[in-house]
Structure 1
Amino acid sequence: MASSLTKASATPGTPGSEKTFFGHPRGLATLFMTEMWERFSYYGMRALLPLYLVAPGGLHMNAGTASAIYAVYLSLVYLLALPGGWVADRFLGPRKTVAAAGLVIMLGHLCLALPAAATFFLGLGLVAIGSGLLKANISTMVGHLYNGPQDPRRDGGFTIFYIGINLGAFAAPLVIGTVGEKVDWHLGFALAALGMALGLAQFLLGSRHLSDKSSLVPTPLSAQEKASSLRKGLFWLAVAAVFYGVVGFTGHFTLNWALIPLTIIGLIVPIMVIARMLRDKDLDRTEKSKVRAYIWFFVAAAVFWMIYDQGGSTLSLFADSSAENSVLGWEFPVSWYQSVNPVLIMALAPVFAWLWLWLNRRGKEPSTIVKFASGLVLVGASFFLFLAPLSIAEGGHKAAAMWLVAIYFVQTVGELTLSPVGLSVTTKMAPKKYASQMMGVWFLAVTAGDSVTALLSNPAVGGVNLDRMGFVALEAVLAVVAGGAVWMYRRKVNSLMGDVR
């Protein structure tokens, strides 16, 4: 597929200069296809995960436990992006790290394909580890293909790469979801493994077209640092092994011995990372002021992702039990709802890009703060909209599929208002010392939001069913109030941001 989309290069001297991929370095085709297949495997498995956890033919759990597992899994994927970046920067380099990540993800999906609970949770852990390793590094490798930040093709290259992400995410529920729900759950997970295998093969075969920078270890560990890191790693691994060994041998182990500590870690780590920056004496007053301003955006993003990511759990489980999943009499698998967001992203992202430019030329483009506030209000509005199908279901009827499509539509508009702006403001407000690490901090907002969801839904800590009308209304109000607070305090945040707008 990659070779059929290439033509003679008009810009020699760049990586893969003998061919181009839509006018971009040939290596972009390799990374495009790798990420597309990785996202195919990831989103296909994710679409099946909550449904398999509650299904009588699956693990037959209650909805609260299933939602907690789903939320903890998502939080881990984003939390592990931080050590994933460290592995590449200090140990393996991006290219080897991505290759290792692909192998780990594939093995994880193969474990999911085995009909045993123990291997299932091992598989979830492996997919989370591999996704964290890959997420932190493959985008960096896209940047390596270009001649610095000023290369005029750079933004277009990332746009094409983003299309690959959404193509994989769109196709995955339609293929993997259908096979998993209608044929066999474990065959669906096996298809996810096949998707990652194709992505890994594409990466290994096309790696010769990547930039040489992708093979470099930017700040390699010294021999002393390697020995120290190994000792620390083995020590904490031994502590965990002894602790869980004792719990297991005494017959006290339950799933919550893993879920609750991971949930707490997902809440504590973001606080520790931001606090460390604020205490860092190497940062000047202006940089610390920007970090304090960034806390507003971080908390707002955490609230947003807490609600948004329930599209794959709370909404999916509601659709499974209480929705009429058909259009004009044609029934479709529940997992297909997870294709709505990526197809809307592909349709609406160019519209939003044009809209911001059009408003900017007229001096009317909303500020970053206003965009964030709008995203929060929209995600809150999506859950106010959710109250309608919940009310229909409480009346003993099945809610129409279009109610759920409408909720996903509003959430996607909110995502396009907040997420790209969040990525941009993260790079603008990052202290020089933490320029690379700050993107990991942005991912930690997802970790924090999903950890809150896990805590709220876990029955072991008094969790609630997240599809109760009162709780959905409470979350909707929280998001709208948070959006209002960001807007009300916009002048204070602006003053902390300094020259960033």
Structure 2
Amino acid sequence: MASSLTKDSAATSGKTFFGHPRGLATLFMTEMWERFSYYGMRALLVLYLVSGGADAATGSQGGGLAYTAATATAIYSVYVAMVYLFTMPGGWFGDRVWGPRKTVAISGVIITAGHLSLALPTDAMFFVGLALIAVGSGLLKANISTMVGQLYDGPNDPRRDAGFSVFYMGINLGAFGAPFIIGWLGEKVNWHLGFGIAALGMALGTIQFLLGSKHLSAQSSVVPNPVTPQERRKVLNVSLATTAVAVVFYAIVVATGVYTLNWALVPITIAGLIIPIWVIARIRRDKDLTGEDKKKLSAFNWFFVACAVFWMIFDQGASTLSLFGDAHTNRDILGWEMPNTLFQSLNPMFVMMLAPVFAVVWLALARRGKEPSTVAKYSFGLVVTGLSFFVFLIPLGMATGDEKVAIWWLVLIFLMHTIAELCISPVGLSMTTKLAPAKYLSQMMAVFFLAVTAGDSVTGLLAIAGVDLNGKGVVALEATAAVIAGIAIYMSRKRVKALMGEVR
């Protein structure tokens, strides 16, 4: 069985961070600022895209791109899918070219440049900015999670799951504050000012990482599987050929006058579904992997599908639920109309409230040998995710015509999403570092994030096809799919546990 890169690599000497290695503080703050910039921009994205058009957000200033709600949802879904799709090349660079630490440092510069591009009041630079943020976020996400795992003494360190939960609090601390600052300034004052504040946040995060990286594990600077010169040439040639074909194809489409936004959205969205399947199959074909490694990859497939279903629903919080909140909720609080972007603070607020509780409970149960298995946590999370959209059917039925519903319906839905998230996302991050073959550690973290790409790609295809994602039938179908997936993985728990080997 291949050894884990995280084994015997913990940075445990000196001061600790809430009982964890000091390096966790550096990664905590880096992810906090990155998520501040990302979630602040994301809270604005759909509202900015529809501003100035027929589906413009109520009470917001103009100056947006005047897209329809369906087109805005499709762009949002494709953008989020691409952020997580780029974790795959991000993981490859971390494993084979730069090592996790250098990859994260470079990603911070790219993300900052992306947010600065959004701050410029030009339509062309807006889409350039989205592309830069997607690339930079992809480079960062797989590698920063890998470095969290490297802080601990192997996959069975009892602090490991709790450490990922603490790290998850950093994510949500940044995400909580972002809508109050970036969201409010962008929605009510100036869109591009909001995007500019996001750039400032990412710049602070990058500086903090560079100053605090001395506390990380020495393994974070190691390139575990360096690329050979032959492989480097092959990757470069394939990349250049693919780019050339795409440029020629779209030049012809534009020149013939048949180009619409769907010419870009549809291929990207389909790629978001195909690439995750191809990547997992490619890793599995590696002849260096042992039989035990391949069994663990088979176990990982179950969690991957479960995650895709979860993110398909969860990520609609900033699109489907945001548009519903803008059009159909009464946000008047003692004469003050709450900005719609503040709904995006609910999930991180609940995470910060509940993540410490979950971390303490998991650790306490682990000491007693009674902690629920990863399979049980995933099953419960999926069922709760499905039930949240069954709850969504109630305000959908109440909000007829000009009738508006209380904001508490969305508060309840975001709370349910948070409970499900804490059973799936931080647990999944930790589980992936345990199941991953040593030579594919960063790339397997990237594969875990590709579940987000798959889930959001499904949402994107529905939006591109003109499906009303606020329609009762679609909401009920998604809810049913999540509940069935949760029950299915629980019913198969013995088989999945057998594939996981010693990992729990």
Of 307-316 and 435-444, more deviation after overlay is shown by 435-444
For residue 128 of structure 2, what is the aligned residue in structure 1? 122
Q: Which has the bigger relative contact order, CA under 8 A and spacing at least 6?
A: 2
Give the C-alpha shift of residue 243 in structure 1.
1.7
Of 392-401 and 374-383, more deviation after overlay is shown by 392-401
For residue 59 of structure 2, what is the aligned residue in structure 1? none
Of 483-492 and 23-32, more deviation after overlay is shown by 23-32
CA distance in 1, matches of 2:499, 2:14: 48
- Residues 89 and 23 of structure 1, relative CA distance in 2, 3 Å threshold: same
CA distance in 2, matches of 1:216, 1:360: 32
AA of the residue aligned to 2:347? N
For residue 471 of structure 2, what is the aligned residue in structure 1? 468
List runs of 5+ in structure 2 lacking aligned partners.
1-9, 53-61
The answer as to 2:180 corresponding to 1:174 is: yes
The correspondence for 1:355, drawn from 357, 361, 368, is: 361
For residue 309 of structure 1, what is the aligned residue in structure 2? 315
AA of the residue aligned to 1:38? E
Give RMSD over aligned pairs. Answer: 2.9
CA distance in 2, matches of 1:378, 1:412: 10
| TM-score, scaled relative to structure 2 | 0.88
The correspondence for 1:238, drawn from 244, 256, 265, is: 244
CA distance in 1, matches of 2:228, 2:288: 23
Map 1:15-414; keep pairs closer than 5 Å: 27-56=23-52, 57=62, 58-143=64-149, 158-207=164-213, 210=216, 213-359=219-365, 365-394=371-400, 396-414=402-420
The correspondence for 1:480, drawn from 483, 495, 498, is: 483
CA distance in 1, matches of 2:152, 2:369: 31
- Residues 337 and 421 of structure 1, relative CA distance in 2, 3 Å threshold: same
The correspondence for 1:426, drawn from 424, 432, 435, is: 432
Conserved? CA contact 1:177–1:188, under 8 Å: yes
Give the C-alpha shift of residue 425 in structure 1.
3.4
AA of the residue aligned to 1:47? A
For residue 489 of structure 1, what is the aligned residue in structure 2? 492
Give the C-alpha shift of residue 250 in structure 1.
2.4
- Residues 333 and 486 of structure 1, relative CA distance in 2, 3 Å threshold: same
Give the C-alpha shift of residue 318 in structure 1.
0.7
- Residues 42 and 354 of structure 1, relative CA distance in 2, 3 Å threshold: same
Conserved? CA contact 1:326–1:401, under 8 Å: no
For residue 56 of structure 2, what is the aligned residue in structure 1? none
AA of the residue aligned to 1:36? M
Deviations for 1:83-134, whole angstroms, at most 9, x for unmatched residues?
Answer: 1121123222333322221111111111111222221111111100000111
Give SS of 1:437's match.
helix
CA distance in 1, matches of 2:209, 2:502: 41
Conserved? CA contact 2:97–2:227, under 8 Å: yes
Conserved? CA contact 1:51–1:320, under 8 Å: no
Give SS of 1:123's match.
helix
CA distance in 1, matches of 2:22, 2:372: 37
For residue 11 of structure 1, what is the aligned residue in structure 2? none
AA of the residue aligned to 2:481? L
Of 24-33 and 50-59, more deviation after overlay is shown by 24-33
Conserved? CA contact 1:369–1:486, under 8 Å: yes
For residue 4 of structure 1, what is the aligned residue in structure 2? none
Of 482-491 and 354-363, more deviation after overlay is shown by 354-363
Give SS of 1:43's match.
helix
- Residues 352 and 156 of structure 1, relative CA distance in 2, 3 Å threshold: closer
CA distance in 2, matches of 1:78, 1:371: 23
Deviations for 1:196-220, whole angstroms, at most 9, x for unmatched residues?
Answer: 1222233344445555544443333
AA of the residue aligned to 1:104? I
CA distance in 1, matches of 2:109, 2:382: 37
AA of the residue aligned to 1:378? V
- Residues 356 and 333 of structure 1, relative CA distance in 2, 3 Å threshold: same
CA distance in 1, matches of 2:447, 2:139: 15
- Residues 101 and 290 of structure 1, relative CA distance in 2, 3 Å threshold: closer
Give SS of 2:227's match.
coil
Give the C-alpha shift of residue 270 in structure 1.
1.2
AA of the residue aligned to 2:208? Q
- Residues 102 and 282 of structure 1, relative CA distance in 2, 3 Å threshold: closer
Give the C-alpha shift of residue 414 in structure 1.
1.1
Corresponding residue pairs, total: 486
Deviations for 1:386-438, whole angstroms, at most 9, x for unmatched residues?
Answer: 11111121253111111100000011111112223323433343345544432
- Residues 92 and 163 of structure 1, relative CA distance in 2, 3 Å threshold: same
- Residues 261 and 387 of structure 1, relative CA distance in 2, 3 Å threshold: same
| TM-score, scaled relative to structure 1 | 0.88
- Residues 368 and 121 of structure 1, relative CA distance in 2, 3 Å threshold: same
For residue 458 of structure 2, what is the aligned residue in structure 1? 452
